[in-house]
Amino acid sequence: MVNYRLTSMDGYADKMGELVWMLQHARQVTLNEIDSLTKQALDFLSDSQANSIGALLSHIAAIEYVHQVISFEKRDLSTDELSKWSAALQLGTQAREAIQGHSISYYLEQLANVRSDTLSYLKSKDDDWLYEEHQWDNGVTYNQYYLWFHVLEDEINHRGQIRAIKRTLKQLNM
């Protein structure tokens, strides 16, 4: 059952707990959208330039992983990490070729593993950490709160794409 009252999650600092609630709520809604999808539905491409639902799910996990590295480890992806996540981060041609043939359990596990690490990291931080400012190489300033807002924003955006693909699948009786 979905809770429609934004509250602070137990075990976290006040604002951090609210952020965690939002992350968890967004994820639960995403999971509700995908829980019964077949491999065929996960791999479906509506045209030669489209991304599949599977690729979008891997992208959601990859974006969260990248934000873990940036915000908790204060570094960019290593060569090995970039190799592992590149197709999911880039989407497009690379993802169409590399991300296919997986069952829903593969994507659920990928999302759960990344999220588990996020929750552990966030539990160790206080509210002041959210407002810590850093600067990109191009001189643009950001804070941790924005990074994690972007994780939410990205998932919600791609969930909209997933819903559109599911409507197409329904019209095609797939």
CATH of the domain at 109: 1.20.120.450
Return the axis-axis angle of helices 53-73 and 104-123, rounded to nearest 10°.
20
Residue 60 CA to residue 155 CA, distance in Å, equals 6
pLDDT value for 88: 97
Burial class (CB in 10 A: 0-12, 13-18, 19+), 114: buried
Tokens 């996960």, residue located: 42
The pLDDT value given to residue 124: 94
Q: Is residue 3 part of a domain?
A: no
Q: Taking residues 36-49, what's their average pLDDT? A: 94
Residue range(s) defining the domain that contains residue 83: 14-171
d(CA 80, CA 86): 10
Question: At what angle are helices 53-73 and 14-34 packed, to 10 degrees?
Answer: 160
User: What total of structural domains would you count in the chain?
Assistant: 1
- Whether 2 maps to a domain, the answer reads no
Q: Is the pLDDT of residue 25 over 70?
A: yes
Q: Say how many C-beta atoms besides its own lie within 10 A of residue 14's C-beta.
A: 10
Is 57 part of any domain? yes
**Structure token pair of residue 59:** 């992208």
pLDDT of residue 1: 62
8 within domain boundaries: no
Residue 125 lies in a domain: yes
Residue 43 lies in a domain: yes
> 3-state class of 172 per DSSP?
coil
Confidence of residue 3 (pLDDT cuts 50, 70, 90): low
In a domain, 7, yes or no: no
The answer as to whether 1 is a domain residue is no
Per-residue pLDDT at 173: 83
pLDDT, one tens digit per residue, over 118-173 is 999 999 999 999 999 999 889 999 999 999 999 999 999 999 999 999 999 999 88
Alpha helical stretches, state H, the chain: 14-34, 39-43, 53-73, 79-90, 92-98, 104-123, 127-130, 144-171
